[in-house]
């Protein structure tokens, strides 16, 4: 257990002003590419979208592929239930994101950047276009050839997955592709592509601004830096908070819970549900052997108090997955339906409680064999809820 002094440390990097973005952009694009890459690698920044892939490595891999056309894409699809931080970033500090995209273009040798904005954020467009025009003018001023365009999604949670996003941008159904090949070699239009979450690019900006040391000092081993958390559910103060990674859940609940928190959903529907008895040994951060388990997260924290029935929670998640699955691969398309019908049958008493164990084994199969993250992560919350709240599932 980290020392008690290690309480929640509020941090303020992301939403700090972005007034000197021009200057950062200018001297970043004058620094050699490998230096910028090493800066990112030494900062140990990991993807904030939820997958947690080291950003430095991602840029490095794509930079190494020699191809005249490459793309930089900012993934602003943010469909994960309970997550609303990207929208805040894009409305408050859009230029940070644009700068990081330009620097990435410089590092990997790409001239085109796209922001994949989800359909539900249609109202963000006018504001964002204004910033892009402003950014474009400055780029022409320092004759740095990098254009950024917005690509609007149309309401499909699966398009948050990187290869489904490429398919969607290519005008096709958002069905994830086979991996390998990975985006760094075969991304949008078959060209090498870097695709990063909005918040990850915002953190890159911080690293280019203050150097990797300031970022590295925050957080704990394996989970460096700070993270934006979207807090919602049964909490007196829902909203967005930038906290250091590696904090323990018990501190978090003390701060944000309403005193009667029964469970916390970390990382949205595809994340992990931690019951009260698990708070003590769970920390928020990427893998690595801190005491107990640590959970990668896209930042969504939903708190449930004892008035909530976990059966309804799981029913809602499975309904969400059943509808949002792209329907391409068997384990996910049919698996979600079986899980949903299964828990309904158990609740109505048509199947006895042992059927839940069969469904648990089914989720294991889905985890091992589904083609993309959606199908693989249905198991996380299902097993947690069925294991810890079995009575609520049956009666």
Map residues 160-189 to x or -, x wherever contact with other proteins holds by CB under 8 A.
--------xxxxxxxx--x-x--------x
In whole angstroms, how close is the CB of 25 to other proteins at the nearest point?
A: 28
Q: Is 230 exposed, middle or buried (0-12, 13-18, 19+ CB in 10 A)?
A: buried
Stretch that binds other proteins, among 100-108, 156-164, 196-204, 382-390 (CB under 8 A): 156-164
Based on the shown chain and the rule CB under 8 A, indicate whether residue 84 belongs to the binding site for other proteins: yes
| Measured CA distances, 364 to 71, 318, 357, 376, 380 (Å) | 36, 15, 11, 9, 9
**Sole binder of other proteins in the list 231, 243, 290, 379 (CB under 8 A):** 231
| Measured CA distances, 387 to 181, 184, 292, 353, 359 (Å) | 36, 39, 18, 12, 12
Stretch that binds other proteins, among 93-101, 225-233, 290-298, 382-390 (CB under 8 A): 225-233
Q: Any idea which residue has 């949002």 for tokens?
A: 324
Q: Are 374 and 175 in contact (CB under 8 A)?
A: no
Based on the shown chain and the rule CB under 8 A, indicate whether residue 227 belongs to the binding site for other proteins: no
Kind plus residue range of the DSSP H or E element containing 384: helix 373-388
Based on the shown chain and the rule CB under 8 A, indicate whether residue 232 belongs to the binding site for other proteins: yes
**Sole binder of other proteins in the list 60, 118, 224, 227 (CB under 8 A):** 118
**Residue 165 corresponds to which tokens in the numbers above?**
């996003």
Sheet of strand 193-197, all strands in order from the earlier edge strand to the far edge: 147-152, 112-117, 71-76, 193-197
Q: Three-class SS of residue 229?
A: strand
Neighbours of 221 (CB within 10 A): 12
In whole angstroms, how close is the CB of 2 to other proteins at the nearest point?
A: 28
Nearest to 222 by CA among 271, 279, 301, 290: 290
Buried b (16+ CB within 10 A) or exposed e, 30-53: eeebeebbebbbbbbbbbbbbebb
Give the residue with the Cβ less far from other proteins, 63 or 240: 240
Q: What distance in Å separates the CA atoms of residue 125 and residue 118, rounded to the nearest whole number?
A: 10
Give the residue with the Cβ less far from other proteins, 99 or 230: 230
**Sole binder of other proteins in the list 14, 97, 139, 326 (CB under 8 A):** 326
**Sole binder of other proteins in the list 3, 68, 123, 259 (CB under 8 A):** 123
Based on the shown chain and the rule CB under 8 A, indicate whether residue 310 belongs to the binding site for other proteins: no
**Sole binder of other proteins in the list 42, 327, 360, 392 (CB under 8 A):** 327
**Residue 10 corresponds to which tokens in the numbers above?**
């509020």
Site for other proteins in 38-57 (CB under 8 A): none
Stretch that binds other proteins, among 17-25, 100-108, 212-220, 296-304 (CB under 8 A): 296-304
Site for other proteins in 329-388 (CB under 8 A): 329-331, 333-338, 341-342, 345, 355, 358, 361-362, 364-365, 367-371, 376
| Measured CA distances, 33 to 38, 71, 109, 230, 309 (Å) | 9, 16, 9, 33, 52
Give the residue with the Cβ less far from other proteins, 31 or 347: 347
**Sole binder of other proteins in the list 60, 87, 96, 227 (CB under 8 A):** 87
Nearest to 72 by CA among 211, 199, 187, 164: 187
In whole angstroms, how close is the CB of 326 to other proteins at the nearest point?
A: 6
**Sole binder of other proteins in the list 121, 205, 215, 311 (CB under 8 A):** 121
Tell me the helix, strand and coil percentages in the chain, rounded to 5.
Answer: 50, 15, 35
Q: Are 180 and 144 in contact (CB under 8 A)?
A: no
Based on the shown chain and the rule CB under 8 A, indicate whether residue 271 belongs to the binding site for other proteins: no
**Sole binder of other proteins in the list 21, 208, 279, 317 (CB under 8 A):** 317
Q: Are 318 and 336 in contact (CB under 8 A)?
A: yes
In whole angstroms, how close is the CB of 346 to other proteins at the nearest point?
A: 11
**Sole binder of other proteins in the list 6, 15, 53, 151 (CB under 8 A):** 151
**Sole binder of other proteins in the list 160, 233, 278, 296 (CB under 8 A):** 233
Give the residue with the Cβ less far from other proteins, 113 or 335: 335
């Amino acid at each position: 257990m980290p020392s008690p002094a290690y309480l929640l440390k509020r941090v303020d990097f992301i939403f700090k002003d972005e007034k000197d973005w021009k200057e950062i952009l200018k001297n970043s694009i004058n620094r050699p590419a490998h230096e910028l890459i090493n800066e990112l690698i030494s900062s140990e920044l990991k993807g904030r979208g939820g997958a947690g892939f080291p950003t430095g490595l991602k840029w490095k891999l794509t930079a190494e592929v020699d191809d005249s056309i490459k793309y930089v894409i900012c993934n602003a699809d943010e469909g994960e239930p309970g997550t609303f931080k990207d929208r805040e970033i894009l409305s408050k500090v859009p230029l940070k994101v644009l700068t990081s995209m330009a620097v990435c273009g410089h590092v990997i040798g790409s001239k085109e950047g796209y922001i994949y904005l989800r359909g539900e954020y249609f109202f963000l467009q006018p504001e964002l276009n204004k910033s892009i025009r402003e950014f474009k003018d400055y780029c022409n001023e320092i004759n740095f050839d990098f254009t950024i365009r917005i690509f609007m999604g149309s309401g499909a949670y699966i398009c948050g997955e990187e290869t489904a996003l490429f398919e969607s941008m290519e005008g096709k159904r958002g069905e994830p592709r086979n991996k390998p090949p990975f985006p760094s070699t075969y991304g949008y239009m078959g060209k090498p592509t870097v695709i990063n979450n909005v918040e990850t690019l915002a953190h890159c900006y911080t690293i280019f601004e203050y150097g990797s040391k300031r970022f590295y000092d925050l957080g704990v081993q394996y989970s460096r830096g700070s993270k934006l958390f979207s807090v919602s559910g049964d909490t007196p103060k829902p909203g967005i908070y930038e906290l250091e990674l590696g904090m323990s859940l018990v501190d978090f609940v003390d701060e944000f819970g309403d005193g009667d928190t029964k469970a916390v959903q970390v990382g949205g529907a595809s994340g992990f549900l931690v019951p009260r008895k698990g708070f003590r040994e769970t920390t928020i951060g990427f893998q690595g052997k801190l005491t107990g388990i640590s959970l990668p997260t896209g930042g969504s924290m939903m708190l449930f108090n004892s008035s909530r029935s976990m059966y309804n929670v799981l029913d809602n998640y499975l309904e969400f997955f059943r509808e949002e699955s792209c329907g391409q691969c068997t384990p996910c398309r049919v698996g979600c339906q079986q899980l949903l019908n299964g828990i309904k049958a158990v609740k109505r008493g048509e199947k006895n409680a042992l059927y839940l164990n069969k469904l648990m084994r089914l989720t294991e199969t889905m985890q091992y064999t589904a083609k993309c993250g959606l199908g693989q992560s249905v198991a996380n919350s299902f097993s947690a809820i069925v294991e810890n709240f079995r009575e609520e599932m049956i009666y």
